[in-house]
C-alpha cells in the first residue's frame, strides 16, 4: 500500500506549480528501481509457499461457504487432517504445521454448524485468512525466530487480531451483497441488522465505525514499546489492514477483477513511472 500511495503522490506532485524537477526525478527513479526489485521477488514468490497458501485459503473458503455439501465437506476435512498429520511428521519444528491446524479447526467448525443447521451471529471476530497469512509472513521476515514470539503467536496476539478484524469487516462491506446472492452465509452487516432491527445503511455505518475503532487499537498496539515482534512484522500486519480497505473500497476487488484493481496492480508492479525529460 505504501508504494501504491507513492505512485499516486508522484503523479500529483508532477502537476504542482512548485514542483522541483530534481526531486521529482529522484522519486521516479526510486519508484522504478524498487518496482524492478519487486518484479524479481514476484518471480520467486509465485513459485513458492506464499502463493500456494493464498490459493489454498481462497479455494477452501469458497468451497466451504458456498459450494460444498455436508458429505463432501466431511470427506474433504478428513483429507486435510491427514495432510496436516503427515506435514507435522516431516517437520522437526512444529511451528509452521501448527498454522495449518487453524485451517483444520475452522473447517471442522463449519461442518458441525452445517450438521446442526446453526447460523451463529458471532461465530468469529475475524477472517481465517488474516492469522494464517500473517503467521507465514512472520517466518518469512523474522531471523532469528524467538521462542517468546512463537508463544505469542499461539495466543493470537492483538496486532494480528486487529489487522484480521479490519480485513474481515472491510471484506464484508465490499462483498456481502454479491456473496449472499451466491448463497453464502450472512456477514457482519446482516448479523447487525438482525440483532438490532437496523437498516442496511445503519449496519454499514456501524461496521465503518468498528473499523475506525479497530484502527485506533492497532495503532496503539503497534506503538507499544514492549512488543515482542519486529517493526518489520508489525508494518506487515498494519499493511494487511490498509490493503483490505483499498481492495474492498468499491466492492469485491479480490474476487471480481474490476478495472480499478487491475489498474492498481499494473501501476504498482508492471508499468514504471515515465521519466520526464527536463529542458
Compute CA distances 120 → 74, 89, 117, 154, 174, whole Å. 20, 35, 10, 25, 21
In a domain, 244, yes or no: yes
Domain match, 26 and 134 both: no
Domain match, 155 and 247 both: yes
Residue 236's nearest CA partner among 153, 168, 129, 159 is 159
Residue 175's nearest CA partner among 258, 253, 242, 110 is 253
In a domain, 264, yes or no: yes
CA 198/CA 193 separation, integer angstroms: 5
C-beta pairs of 195-198 under 8 Å, 24+ apart in sequence = 195/121
Domain match, 24 and 141 both: no
In a domain, 35, yes or no: yes
In a domain, 210, yes or no: yes
Phi, then psi, of 189 in degrees rounded to 5: -65, -50
pLDDT tens by residue, the chain, 279 residues = 778 888 888 989 988 888 898 999 999 999 999 998 888 887 776 666 666 666 677 777 766 666 677 777 777 777 766 765 665 555 444 444 455 555 556 555 555 544 444 344 334 555 667 888 888 888 888 778 888 888 888 888 999 999 999 999 998 998 877 767 766 667 889 989 999 999 999 999 999 999 999 999 999 988 886 678 889 999 999 999 999 998 888 777 766 666 777 888 888 888 898 876 555
Q: What is the predicted pLDDT for the residue at 103? A: 58
Domain that holds residue 28: 1-47
CA 148/CA 175 separation, integer angstroms: 37
Domain match, 231 and 147 both: yes
Single pTM value for the model: 0.62
In a domain, 99, yes or no: no
- How many distinct helices (H) and strands (E) make up the chain? 12, 0
Domain match, 245 and 158 both: yes
Amino acid at each position: 500500500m505504501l508504494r501504491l500511495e507513492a505512485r499516486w503522490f508522484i503523479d500529483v506532485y508532477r502537476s504542482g506549480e512548485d514542483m522541483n524537477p530534481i526531486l521529482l526525478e529522484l522519486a521516479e527513479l526510486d519508484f522504478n528501481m524498487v518496482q524492478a526489485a519487486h518484479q524479481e521477488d514476484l518471480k520467486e514468490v509465485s513459485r513458492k509457499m506464499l502463493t500456494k497458501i493464498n490459493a489454498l485459503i481462497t479455494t477452501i473458503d469458497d468451497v466451504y461457504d458456498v459450494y460444498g455439501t455436508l458429505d463432501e465437506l466431511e470427506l474433504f476435512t478428513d483429507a486435510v487432517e491427514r495432510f496436516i498429520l503427515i506435514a507435522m511428521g516431516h517437520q522437526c519444528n512444529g511451528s509452521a504445521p501448527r498454522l495449518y491446524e487453524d485451517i483444520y479447526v475452522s473447517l471442522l467448525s463449519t461442518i458441525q454448524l452445517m450438521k446442526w443447521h446453526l447460523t451463529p451471529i458471532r461465530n468469529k471476530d475475524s477472517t481465517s485468512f488474516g492469522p494464517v497469512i500473517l503467521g507465514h509472513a512472520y517466518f518469512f521476515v523474522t531471523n532469528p525466530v524467538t521462542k517468546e514470539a512463537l508463544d505469542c503467536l499461539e495466543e493470537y496476539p492483538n496486532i494480528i487480531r486487529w489487522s484480521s478484524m479490519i480485513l474481515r469487516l472491510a471484506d464484508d462491506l465490499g462483498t456481502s451483497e454479491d456473496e449472499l446472492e451466491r448463497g453464502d452465509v450472512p456477514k457482519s452487516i446482516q448479523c447487525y441488522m438482525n440483532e438490532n432491527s437496523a437498516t442496511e445503511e445503519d449496519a454499514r455505518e456501524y461496521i465503518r465505525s468498528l473499523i475506525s475503532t479497530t484502527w485506533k487499537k492497532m495503532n496503539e498496539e503497534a506503538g507499544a514499546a514492549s512488543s515482542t515482534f519486529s517493526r518489520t512484522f508489525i508494518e506487515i500486519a498494519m499493511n494487511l489492514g490498509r490493503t483490505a480497505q483499498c481492495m474492498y473500497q468499491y466492492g469485491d476487488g479480490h474476487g471480481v477483477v474490476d478495472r480499478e484493481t487491475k489498474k492498481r496492480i499494473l501501476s504498482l508492479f508492471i508499468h514504471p513511472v515515465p521519466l520526464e525529460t527536463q529542458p
